[in-house]
C-alpha cells in the first residue's frame, strides 16, 4: 500500500482495522517512540492495543504478551528487537507499518502469521522513497507484493452501522437495564410530547460521544501526491536549536508564503534585522502557500513582536503571531513554485549553516578574533 506521510499511514491503518476481521494482529514499527504513539492513537480510537519495545521492563513485557495470547489484547505494536522470540499462534495478520530495512527482516516478520497451518495475511506500508526497498524485498522473496485498495467510506459506514446494531442487541440480551428503563420512563412521563424514537436516538448520540458514527465520502489522498490546494495541519511545536537546545523555542506564524514568492532568506533577514537577533538563534523556517512559520526563542518582548507584526516582506506585512491550533491550517501545493521539479508540496526548511558560509569566510579574512569572541558571548534579546 502506497502512502505519502505519517497521517495517511494512521488513517489507512485505522480503515483497515475497522473492516478486516482478524484474531490477533502484530504491527511492526521502526522506533520505540512510534510503538508508543501508535498504542496511544489506536487505543484512543477504541482498539485493544499495547506496545512492546526495548524500554519496557521484562515483567511488563511478559504481562502484555500473556494478555495478548489470552485474547485480552488484539493488537500488539512492536519493534523488531522486542518481538524476537515471540510465538503466538492466534496471530492472523502482520502489518509492516514501517518497511523493514532488509528483506530478511521482512521474512521474519511475516513468518509470525499463519502458524499451525492457519491462513495469515501480511500488509506492508510503502512510501514513494521506499520503492527500491520494496523491489528488493520482492526480489529476495521471489514474490510480487500486490497493491490493495483502502476500504471506501461506504464500506466503513456499513460496517459501523452493523456494529452499532449488534451492540444494541448484545446490550439488550446481556445487560441489566432496569435502572435505565426506570429513568427513561420517568423522562418520557415528564415529556409526553417526545416520541420514544427521539429519546432512543438522543441516548445513542450520547453514547457515541464526539466521534461521528459515519465518515464523509469526501475523497482522501492516499496515493503518490497530494492534490494542489490541499489543506494541511501544521504542528505548533517548535524544533529545538541544533547548537543551543537548552533555549526554549516557540513557533510563530507570518502572513507571507509561496503565494507572495517569499524565500527563507527574506524571513530570516527581516527577523534578524528588526529584532536585532543573531541568526544562530533563529530556528526552522517553513514556507507554505498562504503563510510561513519561524521558530524563535519564546521570551520575545511585546515591543519586539509589535515591531515584527508591522514589518513588510515581499510587499506584505508579516503580522507575526504565535502558531496555535486555531491558525495552523496551511494550504500546500496550490501555487506555482519555482524550479518545476515537482517539489511543490514540501515545506522549505532554512539551513543557516549553508547560507552563512560566505559570511563566516569574510569574517575570517578580516581576522577579527575579538569579533569571534563577541559572537560567542552574544545572546538573543529574548533568550533565557
The angle subtended at Cα 72 by Cα 71 and Cα 76, nearest 5°, is 80
Question: Which pLDDT value is given to residue 218?
Answer: 55
- Which one of 3.40.50.300, 3.90.550.10, 3.50.50.60, 3.30.450.90 gives the CATH number of domain 6-141? 3.40.50.300
Q: Quick check: 48 and 75 in contact, CB under 8 A?
A: yes
Superfamily of domain 231-377: RRM (RNA recognition motif) domain (3.30.70.330)
Alpha carbon 15 to its chain's center: 15
pTM of this structure: 0.53
**How do the domains of the chain map onto residue ranges?**
6-141, 153-208, 231-377
Q: How far apart are CA 23 and CA 34, in angstroms?
A: 23
Sign for the pseudo-dihedral over CA of 187, 190, 195, 196: positive
| Mean pLDDT score across all residues of the chain | 81
Q: Which residue has the higher pLDDT, 48 or 226?
A: 48
Question: Which pLDDT value is given to residue 331?
Answer: 77
Alpha carbon 310 to its chain's center: 34
Q: Quick check: 255 and 316 in contact, CB under 8 A?
A: yes
Residue 352 has pLDDT above 50, yes or no: no
Sign for the pseudo-dihedral over CA of 110, 112, 118, 120: negative
End-to-end CA distance of the chain: 47
Question: Which pLDDT value is given to residue 114?
Answer: 63
Question: Which pLDDT value is given to residue 5?
Answer: 53
pLDDT in tens, 191-201: 999 999 999 99
* Cell numbers at 221, concatenated: 489522498
Q: How far apart are CA 13 and CA 6, in angstroms?
A: 11
The alpha-helical segments, DSSP class H, found in 143-177 are 153-174
The model's confidence at residue 41, banded by pLDDT at 50, 70 and 90, is very high
Residues 6+ apart with CB under 8 A from 228: 333, 334, 344
Amino acid at each position: 500500500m502506497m502512502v505519502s506521510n505519517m497521517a495517511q499511514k494512521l488513517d489507512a491503518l485505522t480503515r483497515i482495522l475497522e473492516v478486516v476481521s482478524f484474531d490477533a494482529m502484530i504491527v511492526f514499527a521502526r522506533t520505540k517512540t512510534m510503538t508508543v504513539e501508535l498504542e496511544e492513537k489506536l487505543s484512543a480510537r477504541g482498539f485493544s492495543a499495547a506496545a512492546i519495545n526495548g524500554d519496557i521492563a521484562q515483567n511488563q513485557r511478559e504481562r502484555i504478551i500473556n494478555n495478548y495470547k489470552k485474547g485480552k489484547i488484539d493488537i500488539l505494536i512492536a519493534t523488531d528487537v522486542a518481538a524476537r522470540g515471540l510465538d503466538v499462534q492466534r496471530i492472523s495478520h502482520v502489518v509492516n507499518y514501517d518497511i523493514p530495512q532488509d528483506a530478511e527482516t521482512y521474512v521474519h516478520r511475516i513468518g509470525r502469521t499463519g502458524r499451525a497451518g492457519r491462513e495469515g495475511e501480511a500488509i506492508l506500508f510503502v512510501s514513494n522513497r521506499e520503492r527500491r526497498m520494496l523491489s528488493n524485498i520482492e526480489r529476495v522473496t521471489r514474490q510480487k507484493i500486490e497493491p490493495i485498495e483502502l476500504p471506501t467510506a461506504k464500506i466503513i459506514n456499513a460496517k459501523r452501522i452493523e456494529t452499532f446494531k449488534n451492540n444494541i442487541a448484545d446490550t439488550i440480551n446481556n445487560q441489566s437495564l432496569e435502572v435505565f428503563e426506570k429513568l427513561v420512563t420517568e423522562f418520557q412521563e415528564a415529556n409526553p410530547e417526545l416520541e420514544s424514537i427521539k429519546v432512543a436516538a438522543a441516548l445513542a448520540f450520547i453514547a457515541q460521544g464526539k466521534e461521528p458514527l459515519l465518515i464523509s465520502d469526501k475523497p482522501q489522498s492516499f496515493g503518490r501526491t497530494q492534490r494542489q490546494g490541499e489543506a494541511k495541519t501544521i504542528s505548533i511545536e517548535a524544533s529545538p536549536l541544533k547548537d543551543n537546545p537548552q533555549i526554549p523555542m516557540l513557533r510563530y506564524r507570518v502572513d507571507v508564503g509561496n503565494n507572495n514568492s517569499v524565500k527563507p532568506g527574506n524571513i530570516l533577514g527581516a527577523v534578524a534585522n528588526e529584532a536585532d537577533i543573531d541568526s544562530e538563534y533563529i530556528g526552522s523556517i517553513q514556507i507554505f502557500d498562504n503563510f510561513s512559520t519561524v521558530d524563535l526563542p519564546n521570551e520575545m518582548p511585546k515591543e519586539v513582536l509589535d515591531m515584527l507584526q508591522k514589518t513588510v516582506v515581499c510587499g506584505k506585512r508579516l503580522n507575526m503571531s504565535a502558531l496555535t491550533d486555531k491558525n495552523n491550517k496551511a494550504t500546500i501545493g496550490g501555487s506555482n513554485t519555482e524550479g518545476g521539479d515537482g517539489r511543490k508540496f514540501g515545506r522549505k526548511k532554512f539551513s543557516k549553516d549553508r547560507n552563512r558560509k560566505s559570511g563566516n569566510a569574510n569574517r575570517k579574512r578580516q581576522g577579527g578574533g575579538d569579533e569571534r569572541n563577541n559572537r560567542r558571548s552574544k545572546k538573543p534579546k529574548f533568550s533565557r
